[in-house]
């Protein structure tokens, strides 16, 4: 059958279906279903002839022919839609992974930035520390060069009885008849034989102060005290032994220390004349009997005076240095007025248990005398000059040591190198 005839048959069938009346809600049915309904309706209305059966097959073929392309297209669209859905889900998962990676990278960047910042701070601190060290080099090396400059200077034969030794505070005169002592001084640092004690005295003494050096000997520490007070201050130096006193006077004259006054007498508890025991070892002479190890000495009569009688009430007194081989409490007893008039007074005294035993004093009684006067005791370490609070129990094994005595509420305590 020709295509035109088939089309005409389908058209007639559709028209017949339309004349028989559409089913309910036909407008809601798709065209293919309406076509099928029309064919079924026409089949019910007419007897199934050969022509009808043939037409039914042709209608079925036509329905399939018309709907095949639509179904194929729909299947293709659904397939594409599924593929797009899968792709969308894959892209969504990939996006989540990218967001996670971005978050990790952001966290890593922040951590790296923090670590880098800390590292930069550390580098800056290191650079600042190195800069400080470099800037401190002149201060560190300066004193060393000064020390070298001082110590390379040889002993000078000043006159027939004296050597001149260069120390940090100036030239000190040393008796030529004391070669061992001369070598000791020449071999010492520029701070002298007791550099720690010198440091403490320099810390305690300020320009314009009044100082008493009791037991000045040749004047190694007198020189330091005089330089520390300066011309506006005053130093009273007591040395009853003629030989060391002559060296002391030369030292003062050579260095131009006009504000130091020398007394050829000892300081004690009373104004009197006493026997003075001169030791063959320079610096060991005393108002009390000498120990046997010092050998045979000689005795001379010397004038003893109270510091209260020598230093008047119009003269301030800030520091007293005492080195009198066991007679320290005699000196302390002769300065009651000075102790009361000068509340910030500091005392630097030698403590030698063997000296105390020789004159019948116990360490406790010796310490108690200073404590009664309101002082606390601090041991001076050599050669650093660092001071530490001590009691007699702390110095049981000590042969000899210098102590600094200050009052707890006095200004001198604040100047101690603790």
What CATH number corresponds to the domain at position 411? 3.40.50.150
Residue at which a domain ends, from 44, 67, 87:
87
Q: Do 80 and 161 belong together in one domain? A: no
Q: What is the pLDDT of residue 269?
A: 97
The whole domain housing 60 covers 3-87
Task: Please indicate, yes or no, if residue 144 is contained in any of the structural domains.
Answer: no
161 touches 176 (CB < 8 A): yes
Crossing angle of helices 31-45 and 50-151, in 10° steps, is 160
Residue at which a domain ends, from 66, 87, 108:
87
Cis bond leading into 383, ω under 30°?
yes
Task: Please indicate, yes or no, if residue 40 is contained in any of the structural domains.
Answer: yes
Task: Please indicate, yes or no, if residue 118 is contained in any of the structural domains.
Answer: no
Taking the C-alpha atoms of residue 209 and residue 346, their distance in angstroms, rounded to an integer, is 12
Q: How confident is the model over 327-382, as pLDDT tens digits?
A: 999 999 999 999 999 999 999 999 999 999 999 999 999 999 999 999 999 999 99
Q: What is the pLDDT of residue 76?
A: 74
Q: Do 161 and 74 belong together in one domain? A: no
Residue at which a domain ends, from 32, 61, 87:
87
- Dihedral sign, Cα of residue 343, residue 347, residue 351, residue 356: negative
- Dihedral sign, Cα of residue 406, residue 411, residue 415, residue 417: positive
Q: How confident is the model over 137-159, as pLDDT tens digits?
A: 555 555 666 677 777 777 899 99
Task: Please indicate, yes or no, if residue 120 is contained in any of the structural domains.
Answer: no
Q: Do 268 and 172 belong together in one domain? A: yes
Q: How confident is the model over 165-211, as pLDDT tens digits?
A: 999 999 999 999 999 999 999 999 999 999 999 999 999 999 999 99
Pairing of strands 298-305, 272-278: antiparallel
20 touches 41 (CB < 8 A): yes
Output 144 or 10, whichever has higher pLDDT. 144
**Number of domains observed in the structure of the chain:** 2
Q: Do 37 and 173 belong together in one domain? A: no
279 touches 285 (CB < 8 A): yes
Task: Please indicate, yes or no, if residue 141 is contained in any of the structural domains.
Answer: no
Q: How far is CA 348 from CA 152, 225, 322, 379, in A?
A: 31, 12, 6, 10
Q: Do 83 and 161 belong together in one domain? A: no
Task: Please indicate, yes or no, if residue 126 is contained in any of the structural domains.
Answer: no
Distance of CA 40 to the CA centre of its chain: 107
Task: Please indicate, yes or no, if residue 387 is contained in any of the structural domains.
Answer: yes
């Amino acid at each position: 059958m020709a295509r035109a005839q088939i089309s005409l048959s389908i058209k007639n069938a559709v028209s017949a279906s339309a004349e028989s009346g559409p089913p309910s809600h036909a407008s809601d049915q798709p065209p293919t279903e309406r076509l099928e309904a029309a064919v079924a309706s026409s089949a019910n209305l007419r007897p199934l002839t050969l022509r009808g059966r043939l037409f039914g097959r042709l209608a079925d073929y036509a329905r399939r022919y018309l709907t095949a392309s639509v179904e194929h297209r729909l299947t293709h669209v659904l397939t594409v839609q599924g593929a797009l859905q899968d792709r969308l889900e894959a892209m969504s998962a990939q996006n989540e992974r990218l967001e996670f990676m971005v978050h990790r990278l952001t966290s890593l960047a922040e951590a790296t930035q923090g670590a880098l910042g800390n590292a930069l701070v550390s580098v800056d601190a290191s650079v600042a520390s190195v800069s400080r060290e470099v800037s401190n080099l002149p201060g560190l090396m300066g004193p060393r060069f000064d020390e070298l400059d001082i110590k390379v200077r040889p002993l000078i034969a000043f006159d027939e009885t004296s050597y001149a030794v260069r120390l940090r505070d100036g030239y000190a005169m040393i008796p030529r008849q004391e070669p061992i002592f001369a070598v000791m001084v020449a071999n010492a640092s520029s701070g002298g034989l007791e550099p720690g004690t010198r440091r403490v005295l320099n810390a305690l003494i300020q320009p314009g102060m009044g100082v008493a050096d009791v037991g000045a000997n040749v004047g190694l520490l007198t020189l330091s005290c005089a330089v520390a007070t300066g011309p506006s201050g005053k130093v009273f130096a007591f040395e009853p032994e003629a030989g060391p006193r002559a060296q002391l006077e030369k030292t003062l004259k050579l260095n131009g220390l006009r504000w130091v006054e020398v007394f050829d007498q000892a300081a004690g508890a009373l104004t009197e004349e006493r026997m003075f025991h001169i030791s063959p070892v320079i610096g060991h002479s005393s108002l009390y009997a000498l120990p046997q190890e010092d050998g045979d000495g000689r005795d001379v009569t010397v004038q003893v005076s109270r510091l209260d009688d020598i230093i008047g009430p119009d003269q301030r007194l800030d520091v007293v240095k005492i080195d009198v081989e066991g007679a320290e409490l005699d000196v302390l007893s002769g300065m009651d007025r000075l102790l009361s008039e000068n509340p910030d007074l500091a005392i630097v005294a030698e403590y030698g248990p063997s000296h105390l035993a020789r004159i019948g004093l116990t360490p406790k009684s010796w310490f108690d005398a200073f404590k009664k006067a309101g002082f606390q005791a601090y041991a001076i370490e050599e050669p650093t000059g660092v001071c530490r609070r001590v009691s007699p129990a702390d110095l049981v094994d000590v042969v000899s040591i210098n102590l600094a005595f200050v009052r707890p509420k006095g200004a001198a305590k604040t100047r101690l190198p603790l």
